[in-house]
Amino acid sequence: MHLASSPRNANLCSCTNCNPFHRCHAWHVGTFALACASLELTLFSEARCFMRPRGVFLTLIVSLLASLTALPSLVLTRAQLSAGVFLQAHRVSVTIREQLAITTVQQVFVNSTNAPAEGVYLFPLPEDAAVTDLTLYLDGQPIKGELLDADRARQIYERIVRQRRDPVLLQYIGRRAVQLNLFPIPPRSERKVEITYSHILRAESGTLRYTYPLRTDYVSALPVREVSVTLTAESSAPIGTIYSPNAQVLIARLDDKRFRASLELSDFRAREDFSVFYSYRQAEIGAALLTYRASALEDGFFMLALTPPLRIERERSIPKDVLIVLDQSGSMAGAKWRQAQAAARFVLGALMPQDRFNVIAFSSGYRLYARSLQPVSEAQRAADWLSGLEAIGATDINAALQEALRQADPERHTVILFLTDGLPTEGITDSDRIIANFSAAARPNVRLFAFGVGYDVDTVLLDTLANAQGGTSTYVKPEEDIEAAVSALYNKISAPILSRPTLETDGAVMLEDTYPALPLPDLFAGSQLILTGRYRGAGAITLTLRGEVNGEMRRFTYTGLIFPENAGGEAFVARLWATRKIGALLNTIRLRGETPELVESVRRLSLRFGILTPYTAYLIQEDDFGRREPPQTPPIVPLAPPASASGGINREQRSGAPAVATASALSQMGAAEALQPMPTASAKANLPSGELIVPLGDRTFVWRNGLWVDTRYTSADMPLRLVPFLSAEYFALLEKYPELREIFALGVRVLVVIDGVAYQVIDSGN
């Protein structure tokens, strides 16, 4: 083996066991980084490489944070895999009592090589959090570490960045750290590191936040074999809102004062941090507010969570009328009809004492259990009557829905559960006429929840009916169970506590462009309404929630809710709003057809927030698929949308498997409560499209022509400044704009827009 002698290449290894195109300065946050199987890199002196026959020197940097900022951890590289040192398990246990969070992190490192591995362990401490206790164990034995202040830690971070020409550590600048020496990991063995620390969670506008950083996909090439995070919280006061922006986090309410949030994955590459927000319920219906503002010059974003009690006494639920409308046509024969009957029996058995019901089975005509709504005491007889029916005949949807509306009492909360597996084939068969007839007869107190079974359903018909009446559409695939889908939905809506709710604000703040759109859906016990939108103005306001309970108006008042004027807050709030808005726009296109204005709105939002749609798959070029290393001279490419785009949504495709898949995806997108990427229509790439589009704060970066490009760079006429990597100007920008720490951590080649100027980082070493 020989080493390059040029100073600028002193950190590159030409060992025949290494890929010559891989940098030999691979490192890891939360696990080991290995240069190569026989190479030592010294980090805390001059940059140099030299042989060490007795083993391998490693740099271990651990990010164990429960802070208010999202920082990456668990970064693995291909070099590590070839070296045979990897993180096998990463387990996190969190206990929160009142506002004291105690975090225990256990990591298991495996050295599968034939040489010992030894190194230094650097642990960045949480920013703006008072760590009250810190304990470290190595293989069960307590060990001591050196506490570094922010300045000393910064020197170490910058030295590592300069020596290894890897900018990922820049995002830790400004944080204190703990440093300790590690004993060697023997060949073919493992070593366990355990850290316990505690800190007080801060409350902002009455909302507490716990975050453990896991987001590493833009620097990680390999998964972690086992990752688990379990958080248990308890309080002396009732807990109201519980929310996580990560769709993979499971939340379970244990009772009114305790909850558990968990994440368990294998072969894991994190795309989002583990974050949980929660608040205490001060009223019967709790309210929690999160905001984000990119700058004082543009409107802000908000997320308001309204949380009714987990459960209420059955007698306190709003009395409701439930009309079960079941497709009894011949296509439902067999297992589908048996499951539909079981679903109806479940609903009948779950009725509240003050409820009323009726069952309407339709085919070529319709059959009624009774001529009018019946008391709950008749539920068992209705179930027996339904069991004697067989599926036969055609499908007259219009007649069945008109009969359901005829029975609806204008003075009571009415729920129509409508289940069908086919298209209208009897009576009025034109879907637009069915919609018009239904809209003309439906009263504001009627809620329709549609279930489409199989692929031969008219998705436009079902979605339009449900959306117009404050309900939802659920699509049950042929292999899925109808009873499970119906029971899951009914459990959520079985106990309404506030119908036809409205929101009002006082002061100088206006809430606009909300999703779900006004009027708001009803509130139910045990569920949570997440409202996203934009806000104009700023300041502390009083929010008033009004709604009907048994025909009487109720009012809930929330004071001291702060809508900030200055930039800051939770960036995911803006992205969640954009996800819902794009879903609503795409659904409008599906139901009503394309217009230039709608398509342009989708493109503009998807470009800014990095949300793939059928209209923005052009963001990923074919030449970029599979490319992970930048070319020598990347061109500068503005991310202006093209004049036309392929793909789109086919409004004419109302039924069939693609139509059902689109309807389901857009329904989930429009009601998203967590950040989930929209699947791209392109399947050409071997890598997930999300690996080439990275959201950071309120920005999105696209890997294009070997360059991480800020999507705000939309014109070649924008002023452009070239900034050499690791130059004085490079670090001056970091000092002036702290938000660049995470952005520059993307890699050596980055183009970012600040105050109308584009800054392109260029690799001065090449």
Statement to judge: residues 227 and 336 lie in one domain: no
Triad 295, 296, 301: Cα angle to 5°? 65
- For range 428-445, the mean pLDDT: 94
Whether 2 is covered by a domain: the verdict is no
Single out the residue in 548, 569, 590 at which a domain terminates: 569
Single out the residue in 471, 493, 515 at which a domain terminates: 493
For the domain that residue 295 is a member of, what is the CATH number?
Answer: 2.60.40.1230
Statement to judge: residues 360 and 476 lie in one domain: yes
Write out pLDDT tens, residues 744-757. 888 888 999 998 89
Whether 123 is covered by a domain: the verdict is yes
Write out pLDDT tens, residues 124-155. 665 655 555 666 677 777 776 666 666 777 77
Give me the number of domains the chain comprises.
4
For the domain that residue 477 is a member of, what is the CATH number?
Answer: 3.40.50.410
Triad 60, 76, 155: Cα angle to 5°? 40
Whether 696 is covered by a domain: the verdict is yes
For the domain that residue 271 is a member of, what is the CATH number?
Answer: 2.60.40.3680
Write out pLDDT tens, residues 638-672. 444 433 344 566 655 777 787 888 777 777 777 76
Residue with structure tokens 């399947």? 683
Portion of the chain with pLDDT greater than 90, in percent? 30
Which residue in 765, 762, 703 sits closest to 729, CA to CA? 762
Which residue in 576, 447, 577, 464 sits closest to 520, CA to CA? 447
Q: What is the DSSP string of 505-530?
A: E-TT-EEEEEESPSSPPPEETT--EE
Q: 611 — phi, psi (to 5°)?
A: -110, 115
Statement to judge: residues 144 and 227 lie in one domain: yes
Statement to judge: residues 447 and 560 lie in one domain: no
Statement to judge: residues 350 and 487 lie in one domain: yes
Write out pLDDT tens, residues 563-579. 999 988 888 899 889 98
- pLDDT of amino acid 57: 30
* Three-state secondary-structure class, residue 766: coil
The residue type found at 464 is T
Residue 244: pLDDT over 70: yes
Residue 447: pLDDT over 80: yes
Statement to judge: residues 155 and 222 lie in one domain: yes
- pLDDT of amino acid 175: 64
Distance CA 752, CA 701 (A): 9
Statement to judge: residues 489 and 553 lie in one domain: no
Whether 1 is covered by a domain: the verdict is no
- For range 501-526, the mean pLDDT: 88
Statement to judge: residues 130 and 276 lie in one domain: yes
Whether 692 is covered by a domain: the verdict is yes
Per-residue CA distances from 251 to 27, 258, 359 (Å): 33, 11, 35
Write out pLDDT tens, residues 53-104. 233 333 333 333 222 223 333 233 333 333 566 778 889 999 998 888 888 8
Write out pLDDT tens, residues 716-745. 788 999 999 888 899 899 888 888 888 888
Residue 33: pLDDT over 60: no
Residue 414: pLDDT over 90: yes
- For range 352-368, the mean pLDDT: 95
Write out pLDDT tens, residues 165-206. 666 556 666 666 666 555 577 888 887 778 787 788 877 767
Statement to judge: residues 542 and 616 lie in one domain: no
Statement to judge: residues 451 and 533 lie in one domain: no
Query: How many Cα atoms occupy the beta-carbon half-sphere of 425 within 13 Å?
Result: 17
Whether 654 is covered by a domain: the verdict is yes
- For range 473-502, the mean pLDDT: 89
- For all residues of the chain together, what is the average pLDDT? 76
| Domain of residue 373, residue span | 318-493
Single out the residue in 430, 463, 493 at which a domain terminates: 493
Residue with structure tokens 């069945």? 400
Whether 652 is covered by a domain: the verdict is yes
**Any idea of the CA torsion for 484, 316, 414, 548, to the nearest 10 degrees?**
-130
292: burial class by Cβ within 10 Å (0-12, 13-18, 19+)?
buried
Whether 515 is covered by a domain: the verdict is yes
Statement to judge: residues 120 and 65 lie in one domain: yes
Determine how many CB atoms are found less than 10 A away from the CB of residue 53.
Answer: 6
Statement to judge: residues 333 and 274 lie in one domain: no
Per-residue CA distances from 355 to 319, 406, 414 (Å): 5, 18, 10
